Amino acid sequence: MPDSVPAAALLTPDYWDRAKRTLSRRDPVMRGIIRKYPGIALTSRGDPFTTLARAIVSQQISVKAAQTVWGRVLAAVPEMNPVAIKKHGAKRLARCGLTQRKAEYFIDLATHFHKGILQPHTWHELDDETVIEELTRVRGIGRWTSEMFLMFNLLRADVLPLGDIGLLNAIATHYFGGERATLDEVRELAEMWSPYRSVATWYLWRTADPEPVVY
């Protein structure tokens, strides 16, 4: 799916190269993965509403399916802002391939932004858990969606989304001989990636889906 945002508008974390060096030095497995995917990095559009809307689309479906649905939503509502989403309405959003529930989540998200209930300009000053607490007050935004926002919009370096099946599957493949690790085992493994667990997560995702998604 073509990206609607020019490459020049995308932001890359200033810590990325430093993180790659640190992870490669500490973890031979990660070093091999990083070498396999040169020249690409996590990027952010920088627009909080778009990031959260796209994360809602991506909940519990494959990356490919999410890209298809998101393309339909953008075709229907190219402005992609709270006012345009509210005007479009949940029923018309559902025709883009969203479930009725996700369409309602879109409207609730747009309402929170439009009424100023969410204050995204303050989030850069808040710690991760405080941002998560604010975001999860919106219908349809749970911890996973909030963690995607921390990684892909605020570009937080040390997020470990333990509820992400893709991450857990990749860890099982590369570190536990294909066996699913317990969450405690994942946390213990990820200690050597801190303070760059977001970067390690992003590279592990690439082993399942080499094409990076931009929320």
Mark which of 122, 152, 182 sits at the end of a domain. 152
68 vs 168: CA distance, rounded Å? 24
Instruction: Say whether both 114 and 52 belong to one domain.
Output: yes
Residue 113 domain flag: yes
Tallying the residues shown for the chain, one arrives at 215
What tens digit of pLDDT does each residue of 56-94 get? 998 888 888 999 999 999 999 999 999 999 999 999 999
Residue 3 domain flag: no
Instruction: Say whether both 123 and 166 belong to one domain.
Output: no
Instruction: Say whether both 97 and 69 belong to one domain.
Output: yes
pLDDT at 38: 93
What tens digit of pLDDT does each residue of 120-150 get? 999 999 999 999 999 999 999 999 999 999 9
Tokens of 100: 């009725």
How many alpha carbons lie under 13 Å from residue 190 in its C-beta half-sphere? 27
Task: Give me the domain span that covers residue 21.
Answer: 9-42+159-208
What 3-state class would DSSP assign to 78? coil
Task: Give the type of residue at 196.
Answer: Y
Res. 210 pLDDT band, cuts 50 70 90: confident
pLDDT at 9: 54
Residues 6+ apart with CB under 8 A from 194: 158
Instruction: Say whether both 37 and 117 belong to one domain.
Output: no
Please check the confidence at residue 5 and state whether its pLDDT lies above 60: no
Tell the burial category of 42 from Cβ atoms under 10 Å away from its Cβ (0-12, 13-18, 19+).
buried
Instruction: Say whether both 98 and 164 belong to one domain.
Output: no
First to last CA, the chain: 13
CB 26 within 8 A of CB 193: yes
Residue 167 domain flag: yes
Task: Give the type of residue at 148.
Answer: M
CB 141 within 8 A of CB 102: no
Instruction: Say whether both 34 and 52 belong to one domain.
Output: no
pTM of the model: 0.87
144 vs 152: CA distance, rounded Å? 12
